[in-house]
Amino acid sequence: MAYTTIPTIVTGDVATASWGNTYLKNNLAATAPGVVTVAGDTVYATAANAIARLAIGTANQLLRVNAGATAPEWASTLSGLTLTSPVLTTPALGTPTALVLTSATGLPAAAILQGTMVSGMVLVAPALGTPTALVLTSATGLPAAQVLQGTMVSGMVLVAPALGTPASGTMTNVTGIPAAAILAGSLGAGAYVISTSLQAAT
């Protein structure tokens, strides 16, 4: 039912049945009470002096503008939207193709080992299990036994480590080695200079 603009009434005009049906009955039917049919219905303008009914959506749906930007519609997803600083409480993210976690806490070690950590992420006392590959830079508190099983990158320092008896080793610029230990092995070329005044301890 279309809305008909009501003309200006002047003195002497007679309100006939036709006039009442057109400007009262039909116009009232074109307003929101005449358009909606069930609880939860919504009305929106389709043009000047014209409205349409949008039936209620399903549970947890969101109201958004359609792809053509011509009318509202109900939707179950937020596709195409940019959310600024949203807070997600225990979300089920599925398996995203890409994800950046900054200042994240409570990350399970097993899940971390399956992907790649970005620069700046910090793990506090993680249980990493036995990773197939791991690069440690500026790490402290490393047990010597585990260090010997891998390769240390340049710049890492071991403080008073208990290295056991390594099968082989190259020591350059090493200080504080007891003379007895030096005499029991072979020195690499250019590695050490032994003073001619070296004497056996009394």
Residue with the bigger pLDDT between 40 and 146: it is 40
Q: How confident is the model at residue 57 (pLDDT cuts 50, 70, 90)?
A: very high
pLDDT digits (tens, 9 = 90+) for 121-146: 566 666 666 666 666 666 666 666 55
User: What does the pLDDT read at residue 65?
Assistant: 92
Handedness of CA 111, 112, 113, 114 (dihedral sign): positive
Distances in whole angstroms, Cα of residue 32 to Cα of each of 27, 42, 59, 106: 10, 9, 23, 51
Let me know: does 99 contact 91? Beta carbons within 8 Å.
no
User: What does the pLDDT read at residue 180?
Assistant: 64
Distances in whole angstroms, Cα of residue 196 to Cα of each of 93, 96, 118: 71, 68, 54
Mean pLDDT (whole number) for 34-38: 85
CA 160 to chain centre: 41
Let me know: does 58 contact 50? Beta carbons within 8 Å.
no
pLDDT digits (tens, 9 = 90+) for 71-116: 999 999 888 888 888 888 888 888 888 777 777 777 666 666 666 5
User: What does the pLDDT read at residue 27?
Assistant: 79
Taking Cα atoms as reference points, which of 155, 150, 151, 119 lies closest to residue 140?
155
- Tell me if residue 62 falls in helix, strand or coil: strand
Let me know: does 142 contact 158? Beta carbons within 8 Å.
yes
